Structure 1
Amino acid sequence: MLLLLLLQVSATCLWLGRSEVVTSFQGSCPQFFFRQTPPNQALEPQNPAWICQRYGNQYYFATLYDRTRRIPVYSAYVYHPAPGKRPKTWLVEPQVSKSPSREILPAMLLLLLLQVSATCLWLGRSEVVTSFQGSCPQFFFGQTPPNQALEPQKPARICQRYGNQYYFATLYDRTRRIPVYSAYIYNPTSCPRTNPWMIEPQLVGLNYPKTMEKTSAFLKDFNVTLEQLGDSQAILKDYKSLKGLHRGHLNPCGHHNDSNSMNATFTLTNIVPQDEKLNIGAWKNYEQRTMKNKTQGCKTTYVVVGAVPGNNYISKGRVNKPSYIWSSACCEVDNNHRKAWAVIAENDKNAVKLLTLGGLENRLTQLYGGNQVSLFDSACPRQ
């Protein structure tokens, strides 16, 4: 009987593992709304449920549901017509229902079920995903990530979550233990820089927590060794005793305007070994001054910042030191006008070169020696 009950709870975990009922469409599945803007609250019922409609492991549309009247208020989707066979099976939404049981359980059994349930909550919001477009496309202009020309041999696509919300996206190189790029929306303010550094548990395994964690808490709570943790990502020890190098953010803390989004940038999957003089000199000037000047008149600015792998390593060959660091931006001025720009810097010189978006894409194509690189949707100007 106990085994059957535990199996039932475990099955519930699998359902909960891909949360559909959310607190905000904009924070979870904005891709189904024009310019990521859902209808306003005028249509909202008294007892609403916001559902990111997931089938399998991907979102397909969004529904605002009226729990009281038991009908949808609206559904939002992207029109892609095609011939298809009408399915015969109707499905339900498990997360709209109330808890199926309120029975009083023996204390020992209750504790066991609570432990299993806690595991469910950790598993509930996966960060390492199979597709940015299906999980956190809101950080890319036109919901279009860079093409596969930059993809490493062992990639990890991370929808960077802090607490219960995504704040940016990172393509991570598990072998070199550095990010290939991070993508975010530019909302600048000053950064206090008092945040602790965090790691990504799901790079250890998908059965671990979805949200970034402090190393000590993760190792203690899940009985994981430091060696296991560092197998496919950098750890804080790798960045100790650096000489002439800094922990360089790709997505910088100062490009965000609230404490949670700032905290989220302090993950070791968002930093690279960066030349010390470059980090506090020309690159800082670009992040703080040039970006401010370039974004004048912009309504929304999408940024993709990356690093080109180099031939040198730190921490006894564990973490690659990039040869170049680059940044690109595409800004919406209004519905009909956009502008774009880019920079690149050698990671051993205190100098930043300003380029067009097309110029950076061509330079990265040369450096990677493969297919033509595309960083943004074609609607962003290349010249």
Structure 2
Amino acid sequence: MFFTELNNLQCKTYLIADIDAGVAAIIDPIESNIDRYLGVLAYHRLSLEFVADTHTHADHRSACAAVKKLTGCKVMMHDLSPSPSVDQHFSDGTELTIGSIKINVLHTPGHTPDSVSFYVNEDRVLTGDVMLIQGTGRADFAGGDAGDQYDAITSKLFTLPEDTLVYPAHDYRGNTQSTIAVEKSTNPRIAGKTRDEYIEVMANLNLPLPERIQEVLQINQSEIDDDRIKFPLIAELNQVLQMEPESVKNRIDQANGATVMIDVRELHEFNGDLGHIKNSRLMPLADIPSHLEVLEAFKEKEIILICRSGVRSTTAAAILKGLGFPNVKNMKDGMLKWNELGYPVERG
């Protein structure tokens, strides 16, 4: 196995390759270093099979979609990822292969709901931001949960062999790697702490938010970088009324014409495995600015926004609220939850 970190920056990107088979994967690519990634692949004569993010990043632009366009590789992320560019979703326990290399997916939420760690060839683990070297990733972003993070670290990561090498997605102190044994015994955030103690520590960090977080996070969630879209502020996103799928189904069953359902996914998602709700209207998030005249006809109706996981549709709902639409709601947890509940869908 050929394994290396590609950025030499605080943001870490990892290349995993089977040189003999001529195949590779890149984990957590950043937009500013795409040329370097392509150069390394060409130098070693490697075909890129997939790129993956360990989670939806809030502090920098992901390069997964861009690398996919340039190389033809697949984009892979966890089932809960909101990104429309994902070709293959995975879940806890999924085994990925790169030539002879085996990569086991560990769902390690807490920093974000879609956070995963990659256990590579049973000797190293890429922990994303759930656990750093002598630290842990913050748990105060939308969907973050310090209790889930504690559980993921203690039950998934700290149960790996103690000599397992640890490679996080960020490091701010010049470290390059650690081991499970070292982090389990000396990590000041979590070593020796109970779940309640850890939650209290995380609740009192009072860290400033990353610059442009609302823009970067929503671009990574939607894969949209369009000057026509003015992404809402976090406070505006928090004001969106979240509607449980059960309540949405009740609205549909009433069938009184007072509710309009707008699905803001891409066409391939609308017709894909998760399907779509009968009579919902497809209007991808990027197209909303050019469809305002169409939307005006529904301004006095109840509008329910829908997407894969409820993230992009929250952005769409906040945009419409900002444009003066008075009765806009979001279907919480999106089509993932709708399918989980066994509600009817249409496809094609």
Range of TM-score over shorter length: under 0.3
Q: TM-score, normalised by structure 1?
A: 0.26
Structure number with the higher strand fraction is 1
